[in-house]
A and B are shown apart, each in its own frame.
Chain A
Amino acid sequence: MKEITKYISAYYLDEEDLLSGIKKMQENNVKVLDAFTPFPVHGLDKVLGIRRSWLPRVGFIGGTIGALTGFFFQMWVFTEGYQMNIGGKPLLAIPSFIPVTFESAVLFAAFSMVFAFLFRSRLGLGAENKIYDVKSTDNHFVVVAGYEENKSDDVKEKMEAAGATIIEVKE
C-alpha cells in the first residue's frame, strides 16, 4: 500500500455530528482513517470498526502470573527456603498467604496492562507522536481521511455533505 503523507480532515464541534458525519462519509465511500477527539466518544470505535481492546486479557494474564508468583513464592519461602516455626502456625499457612497473593496479582495486572497500553499505543515518556491538530484536544472532533490528489474535491464535498464545519488538508 502506498504510504499516505497527506491527509484531508473534517472538523466537528459536536460528537453526535461526528458520529453521523462519519457514518455518512462511510456510506459515501470515504475511507475514514481515524478520528481525533477531545474525549472518548461513545460508539466511535464501533463506527470506525476498531476491535475491542485485548487489554483485559493482558490484565488477566498479568494478574494470574502475579497471583501464582506471589503464592508460590510464599509457599517456597515457608516450606523450603526458610522453614521457621512461627507462632506454631503450619508451614503452609495458606490463609496468611492470601493477602500478598492478592496484592501481587493486582500489581502485576495493573503494570502489565499499563505497559501493554503504552506499548500498543506508542505512548511513553517523551514519545513524539505526530499531533495532527491541537484543536482536537480542546473542542474539535477531527475526522481524518487519506488525501489523494485526484479525489480531494470529491472527498471534500462528501465531508461537507457530512456536516463538517471546517475541512482542511494537512501534511
Chain B
Amino acid sequence: MEQNMENKFVFDSKIKMILYGMIAVGLIALLVGLFSEGVVESRFWANLLLNNFYFLALALGGTFFVAVHEMGESGWQTSIQRVPEAMGRFIPFAGVLMLITFLFGIHHLYHWTDTAHHDEILAGKAPYLNTTFFYIRFAIYFAGWSILSYYLRKASIDMDSDADIKYYKKQRILSSVFVVFFAITSSTSAWDWLMSIDAHWFSTLYGWYIFSGLLVSTIAMIILILIFLRNQGYMSHVNKEHLHDLGKYLFAFSILWMYLWFSQYLLIWYSNIPEETVYFVERVNNHSTIFYVNLVMNFVLPFLVLMTRNSKRMIGVTGVVALIVFAGHWVDYFLAIMPGVVGENTKVGFFEIGLTIGYIGLFLFIVFLGLSKASLIPKNHPFYKESLDYHTNY
C-alpha cells in the first residue's frame, strides 16, 4: 500500500467537507444554546468548559505521550509518533476557546468568583481562588504548553530533513521540560478548572485522577486516528503489534483510571467526613445513572473486552473499545462539571451532543491539518527502525 510516496497525509476535500459539516453542527448547537430558553446559562457555559477541557486534555495528552516516550527512550511508538504530535497542535486553539469561555462565563462556572457573598471557607481560599491569579495561571499554563508542544513537534519534524542526532537530543531535553512542567500544571489546572467548581470540596488525588483520565482518552484518540489513517491507506507499517501495544495501554490505563477513581472514592466513603462526601453524595444521589454508566464505559467494558490477547490484536474490537472509552471520558468530565455548575438542570440534549460533534470536528480538522504538513513517518528518528521490527507477545 505504498501509494503515498512521501508518506504525507493528504487532507482531501472529502474529509474536509465532513469536518466542516461537524463544525457546522457545533455552531448550530452553540446558537441553540445561546438563544434557546431550554439551555440555561450555566448549562451553556458548563458545556463549553466540558468540551474545551476534554479536547485540551487530548491535545495535552498527545504531547505528553510523545514526551514521556522520548524520555523513557522507548522505541516502539516512534512510527506512530506523528499522530500524537499533531494532536498537540490543538493546545493554542483550546486556549483561545477556553479564554473566551472564562471571560464570559466564569461567574456561571465558579461560584467562588462571587466575592460579594461572604463565605468563610472561600475567603480562606481567596489567595488562590481569585480571578486575577486565576488568569495569571491560565496564561502560564497555555504559554508553557503551547510553546513546548510546538518546539517538541518542530524538533521532530526537523529531523526528517536532517538526520543529525542533535534534533533527537533537543527533543529529549524539550520532553523533559514538558514532562516536568506538565507534572505540576496538570494537577493545578485540574484544581483550577474542575475542582474549584465545587469550591468547598477538596481532594489531594483529584489532579492525578483527572490526569489518568487524560491518559486513557488520549490513547483512545490515537487508536481511533490510527485506524482512520489505516483505512485511508496510510501508515501501512502500523501493524497488529503497534495496535496490540496501544490496546495494552488502553487496557492498563483504564485500570489505572479505575484504581485512582476507586482510591479516591473508597477513602472518602470510608471516612465519611461531610466536607468530602458532599462531592459524591451529590453525584450518587442526583446523577446516579451517569455515575454508574461512567464506571461501565471507562472500566468494565474495556477491562472485560481487552483482557484477552486476541481482542487487543483485532482492529475492530480495539477500535470499538477506544470509541467507548473516548465517549466514556467525556461522560466522566460531564459528571465532574455538571452537578457543580448546572445542578438539577443537568441534561443531555441536542445542545450537548451537537456542541461535542462540533468540537470533534474542529479538533480533527486541526490534527489532520498538522498531519498533512509533515511526513507520517519520522524516518530519521534513531529508534524508528526498532518500531518497525518488534513483536509483542501478550
Contacts and interface: CB of A to CB of B under 8 A. Distances in A.
Interface of A: 42, 56, 60, 95-96, 98
A70 to B, nearest CB: 16
Nearest to B265: A95
Contacts of B269: 95
A56 B394 CA distance: 10
Nearest to B393: A42
A56 B266 CA distance: 30
A95 B270 contact: yes
B76 to A, nearest CB: 15
A42 B265 contact: no
B166 interface: no
A42 B265 CA distance: 44
Interface centre among A42, A60, A95, A96 (most CB of B within 10 A): A95
5 contacts: A56-B309, A95-B262, A95-B265, A95-B266, A95-B270
A56 B307 CA distance: 10
B347 interface: no
B391 interface: yes
A98 B270 contact: no
Nearest to B267: A95
Nearest to A99: B266
A95 B269 CA distance: 8
Contacts of A60: 307
Contacts of B265: 95
A98 B266 contact: yes
A98 to B, nearest CB: 7
B391 A42 contact: yes
Contacts of A95: 262, 265-266, 269-270
B160 to A, nearest CB: 31
Contacts of B270: 95-96
A109 to B, nearest CB: 12
Interface string B261-273: 0100110011000
Nearest to B394: A56
A98 B262 contact: yes
A42 B266 CA distance: 43
Nearest to B269: A95
Closest 6 CB pairs of A and B: A95-B266, A95-B269, A98-B262, A95-B265, A42-B391, A95-B270
Contacts of A98: 262, 266
A98 B270 CA distance: 12
Interface in B307-346: 307-309
Nearest to A96: B270
Contacts of A96: 266, 270
A38 to B, nearest CB: 19
A57 to B, nearest CB: 9
A104 to B, nearest CB: 17
Interface string B197-216: 00000000000000000000
A95 B277 CA distance: 14
A63 to B, nearest CB: 10
A96 B265 CA distance: 11
Given A95-B265, A98-B262, 12 more contacts: A42-B391, A56-B308, A56-B309, A56-B394, A60-B307, A95-B262, A95-B266, A95-B269, A95-B270, A96-B266, A96-B270, A98-B266
Nearest to B262: A98
Contacts of B266: 95-96, 98
Contacts of A42: 391
A60 B307 CA distance: 9
A13 B266 CA distance: 56
Nearest to A57: B308
A98 B394 CA distance: 26
A95 B391 CA distance: 39
Contacts of A56: 308-309, 394
Nearest to B259: A102
